Structure 1
Amino acid sequence: MSYTIGIIGSGNIGRGLATHLAKTQYKLLLTNRRGAESLTDLVVSIGGSLRAADLAETIHQADVLFLALPWSQLEGLAQAMAPYRGKILVDATNNVVSMSPFQLADIGGKTTGEYVADLFPHQRLVKAFNTLGAATLALPPQNDTGNRVIVLSGDDTEAKKVVADLAQSMGFAPIDLGTLAEGGKLQDMGNAFSGIELIKVSK
């Protein structure tokens, strides 16, 4: 199926995602808070199917939206997306609110996926691409040994299948960990898959 994909956020995670997705067959839009003009050089350097757009255009056109923005900006994005229904959101965020000193936001005992899903009640959220560091995510997904693993979780089976297919088209090996409540626990910072690089060995 043909999708239009949007990436919200042009930091290190957003750039890594854009680099891989631009090599696929999908139409790809990238946006940030500073506007499309600020992305000109980045878009040229990545090439492929990537195009810069403003936030409103990206939200309107995209079937699948990758959330690669700071945790503090999620509530504002939720307000901007309130008129929309049924978008697939790929939540690549972590609940970091400060790096020095390091501090995580209090999310009331929920997983980050559950918390973000509550912010976007009319969308279909899949937690993915949040466990690898930006430098690792930017590396080629495939090497002589095999394919780098991307773990994902979610409560919408069809949406998870779409995200798994996208990950596979980028060269990653997707692994479904289950629901946002159960699988999501393994993905959040400090838990089993956080910061862990796995390679699915080719047979």
Structure 2
Amino acid sequence: MDVGIFGAGHFGLSLAGLFDRAGHTVHIASRHLDGLSATISERGLRHTYIGDVDLVAGSSTILIGAVQWLDLETLAKELPDLEGKIWIDPANPYVREADGTVTQLTTDGRPTSAIVADLVPKAQLVKAFNAFTTPMYRSGPLTSLGRIVAPIAGDHPAALCRVAELIKTTGFVPIIIGNIGDSVVMEPQGALRRLSIPLIAP
């Protein structure tokens, strides 16, 4: 599969590594391209390529918005037509202050993915990967109890199946938990995020 990632911070690069190791072609866009090629080479990512927003959007059928919550609206304004594309939304409504503190913003009761879906209305949105941490990407899906489950949610059955197929190739176990309205259980204060350990498939 061709996967396009917008954002080359710790999260975006971790996602790139996950898909690259699974053999997928990854295109990644960043506002800071200087040194990114060297970083990709240092991480041993052999199937990952850098480019601008238009190149990444045009080269990939599955797109991921791996930018900060407050940067999503700006990114959406730069995107070309996304008709027929799948948009994976891993966003959480956090803002990181200059001193390193993290604040959770209110969404006035709306699911975060409903807000993101409004920003990319022509794409088929799937909520996924918002509960993963960088160590989980690096350590992989296997635990002593079984494989880590990756919950996903969305309103488009075909897109859900496609994202589930992508997740399977990485070794994690996809599970569809419902539609965008149901995705609130994946959010920072949701039921799945309050579990003491990630969901495990034996």
Cα distance in 2 between the residues matched to 1:48 and 1:200: 30
> Does 2:87 correspond to 1:89?
yes
Q: Secondary structure at the match of 1:194?
A: helix
Deviation at 1:144, TM superposition (A): 5.3
Task: State the one-letter code of the partner of 1:64.
Answer: I
Amino acid at match of 1:46: G
Please list the CA deviations of residues 45-95 of structure 1 after superposition, one character each: whole Å capped at 9, or x if unmatched: 232311222222101211101111111110011112253312101111101
Give the stretch that moved more between structures: 192-201 or 107-116: 192-201
Show the counterpart of 2:108.
108
- SS of the residue 1:141 aligns to: coil
Unaligned runs of 5+ in 1: none
TM-score by length of 2: 0.89
2:165 aligned partner: 165
- Separation in structure 1 between the aligned mates of residue 10 and residue 148 of structure 2, nearest angstrom: 18
Post-superposition shift, 1:191?
1.2
Structure 2 counterpart of 1:191: 190
Q: Tell me if structure 1 keeps the 8 A contact 2:54–2:80.
A: no
CA change 1:43–1:156 in 2 (3 A) is same
2:72 to 71, 74, 81: 74
1:43 is aligned, of 34, 37, 40, to: 40
Code of the aligned partner of 1:19: G
**Which residue is 2:152 aligned to?**
152
Q: Which runs of 5 or more residues in structure 2 are unaligned?
A: none
Q: 1:6: Cα distance to partner? A: 0.7
TM-score by length of 1: 0.89
Task: Give % identity.
Answer: 27
RMSD: 1.8
The residue number in structure 2 matching 1:200 is 201
Aligned to 1:23: 21
CA distance in 1, matches of 2:74, 2:155: 23
Aligned residues: 197
Deviates more, 1:110-119 or 1:135-144: 135-144
Report how far residue 101 of structure 1 moved: 4.9
Runs of 4+ residues over 6 Å off in structure 1 = none
Amino acid paired to 2:59: Q
Greater shift after overlay, 158-167 or 100-109?
A: 100-109
| C-alpha contact (below 8 Å) 1:91/1:113 kept by paired residues | yes
**Is the Cα–Cα contact under 8 Å of residues 13 and 137 in structure 1 kept in the other structure?**
no
Work out the CA distance in 2 between the residues paired with 1:138 and 1:181: 30
Shift of the alpha carbon at 1:34?
A: 0.8
1:140 and 2:137 correspond: no
CA drift of 1:139 comes to 2.0
Helix, strand or coil: the match of 2:35?
helix
- Distance in 1, Cα, partners of 2:117 & 2:138: 26
